[in-house]
């Protein structure tokens, strides 16, 4: 059985560039503390992946890494165990987590957040929404479907030249509509920055802060998500009013049920 540290950025995967190698060592120090290395080792021993190849993206809250499983790839998302993850979360998202862990227990909150994202990805997958399929999780490590090719991960929508914004709009209506009508969820923080574009289609990511469609904040959050994409589509030369967008996705069913309904 390989040592836990040997599962991350094995030397055969590294390019012969000292600056990149130094950057990978820095990421090892930042993300792969002892507990995270043990979590990675456990998931690898369960057969979810063989090795973690290299980073895809990183931020203050965590990072996403490509992993190999035979000739296939996986995406491994690792949350940092610190209060940074929750510093900018709205109260409604923190309220959901406090049911599972103490607000003072950052580790417990991070584990609950990881578990929540895995659960919501599964719910969206079952509803037919294009998201990375969840594969497994443990502690602060989430394993999911890799969106991309051997040459690289799928880009964010904001970084892609869009030739047919009308088709993009129809795709967005379809994905948001399934999210609302079938999964009964509202993303709450959706924009071209956290939507991928792969094989000519949008893929929704970063779903942990999603709320139930009946949540008191759901309608406001949905309207904000749709306004983000209305502005984006407008910059592409395709104008759609947020109210029209809302009707198209079934937004009238979002929000607390009316009394007497």
Candidates 143, 140, 142; CA nearest to 33 is 140
> Please, which pLDDT band fits residue 183 given cuts at 50, 70 and 90?
very high
> Please, which pLDDT band fits residue 260 given cuts at 50, 70 and 90?
very low
For the question of residue 189 being annotated catalytic, the response is: yes
Question: Does residue 194 belong to any structural domain of this protein?
Answer: yes
For the question of residue 17 being annotated catalytic, the response is: no
User: Which comes out higher in pLDDT, residue 18 or 30?
Assistant: 30
Torsion sign over Cα 108, 114, 116, 122: negative
* DSSP strands (E only) in the chain: 51-58, 62-69, 72-79, 134-138, 141-145, 148-149, 152-153, 185-186, 195-198, 201-204, 211-212
pLDDT at 258: 55
Lowest-pLDDT range, 54-58, 198-202, 205-209? 54-58
Lowest-pLDDT range, 18-32, 149-163, 212-226? 18-32
The whole model's pTM is what? 0.88
Report the domain count for the chain.
Answer: 2
**Residue 148 sits in the same domain as residue 159:** no
Question: Does residue 66 belong to any structural domain of this protein?
Answer: yes
Could you give the CA distance from residue 165 to residue 233 in angstroms, rounded to a whole number?
Answer: 7
Could you give the CA distance from residue 29 to residue 24 in angstroms, rounded to a whole number?
Answer: 9
**75 - beta bridge partners?**
66, 144
How far is residue 74 from each of residues 69, 114, 144, 242, 257, measured CA to CA in Å? 7, 16, 6, 36, 40
Task: Note whether 81 and 94 are within 8 A (CB).
Answer: no
Task: Note whether 115 and 139 are within 8 A (CB).
Answer: no
3-state SS, residue 114: helix
User: In b/e form, how buried is each residue of 157-185, taking b as 16+ CB within 10 angstroms?
Assistant: beebebeebeebbebbbbbbebbbeebbb
Question: Does residue 75 belong to any structural domain of this protein?
Answer: yes
Which CATH number does the domain housing residue 209 bear?
Answer: 1.10.510.10
**Residue 90 sits in the same domain as residue 212:** no
Question: Residues 159, 199, 206, 239: which is the catalytic one?
Answer: 206
> Please, which pLDDT band fits residue 213 given cuts at 50, 70 and 90?
very high
Q: Which domain holds residue 53?
A: 4-152
> Please, which pLDDT band fits residue 129 given cuts at 50, 70 and 90?
very high
Residues 6+ apart with CB under 8 A from 242: 223, 226, 227, 230
Rg (CA), the chain: 19
Report the chain's mean pLDDT, rounded to a whole number: 87
Q: Which of 134, 152, 170 is the last residue of a domain?
A: 152
Q: Is the pLDDT of residue 136 over 90?
A: yes
Q: State the average pLDDT over residues 104-129.
A: 90
Q: Which of 152, 181, 204 is the last residue of a domain?
A: 152
Question: Residues 50, 189, 225, 239: which is the catalytic one?
Answer: 189
Q: Which of 112, 131, 152 is the last residue of a domain?
A: 152
Question: Does residue 29 belong to any structural domain of this protein?
Answer: yes
Tens of pLDDT, residue by residue over 38-91, are 999 999 999 999 999 989 988 777 899 999 999 999 999 999 886 666 666 777
**Residue 248 sits in the same domain as residue 224:** yes
Q: State the average pLDDT over residues 221-229.
A: 95
Lowest-pLDDT range, 108-112, 115-119, 131-135? 108-112
**Residue 103 sits in the same domain as residue 224:** no
Instruction: Give the whole-number percent of the chain exceeding pLDDT 70.
Output: 83
**203 - beta bridge partners?**
196
Residues 6+ apart with CB under 8 A from 36: 78, 81, 139, 140, 141
pLDDT at 162: 94
**Residue 140 sits in the same domain as residue 168:** no
Question: Does residue 261 belong to any structural domain of this protein?
Answer: no
Question: Does residue 122 belong to any structural domain of this protein?
Answer: yes
């Amino acid at each position: 059985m390989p040592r836990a540290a040997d599962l991350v950025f094995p030397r055969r995967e590294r390019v012969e560039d000292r600056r990149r190698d130094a950057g990978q060592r820095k990421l090892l120090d930042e993300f792969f503390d002892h507990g995270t290395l043990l979590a990675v080792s456990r998931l690898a021993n369960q057969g979810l992946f063989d090795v973690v190849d290299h980073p895809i993206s990183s931020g203050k809250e965590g990072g996403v890494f490509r992993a190999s499983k035979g000739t296939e790839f996986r995406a491994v998302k690792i949350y940092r165990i610190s209060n940074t993850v929750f510093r900018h979360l709205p109260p409604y998202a923190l309220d959901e987590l406090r049911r599972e862990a103490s607000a003072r227990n950052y580790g417990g909150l991070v584990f609950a957040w990881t578990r929540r994202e895995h659960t919501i990805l599964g719910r969206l997958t079952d509803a037919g929404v294009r998201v990375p399929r969840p594969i497994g999780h443990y502690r602060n490590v989430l394993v999911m479907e890799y969106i991309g090719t051997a040459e690289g991960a799928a880009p964010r929508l904001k970084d892609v030249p869009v030739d047919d914004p009308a088709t993009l709009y129809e795709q967005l209506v379809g994905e948001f509509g399934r999210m609302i009508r079938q999964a009964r969820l509202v993303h709450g923080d959706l924009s071209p920055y956290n939507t991928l574009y792969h094989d000519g289609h949008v893929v929704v990511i970063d779903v942990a802060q999603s709320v139930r469609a009946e949540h008191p904040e759901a309608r406001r959050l949905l309207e904000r998500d749709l306004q983000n994409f209305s502005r984006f589509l407008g910059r592409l030369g395709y104008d759609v009013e947020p109210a029209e967008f809302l009707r198209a996705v079934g937004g009238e069913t979002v929000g607390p049920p009316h009394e007497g309904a």
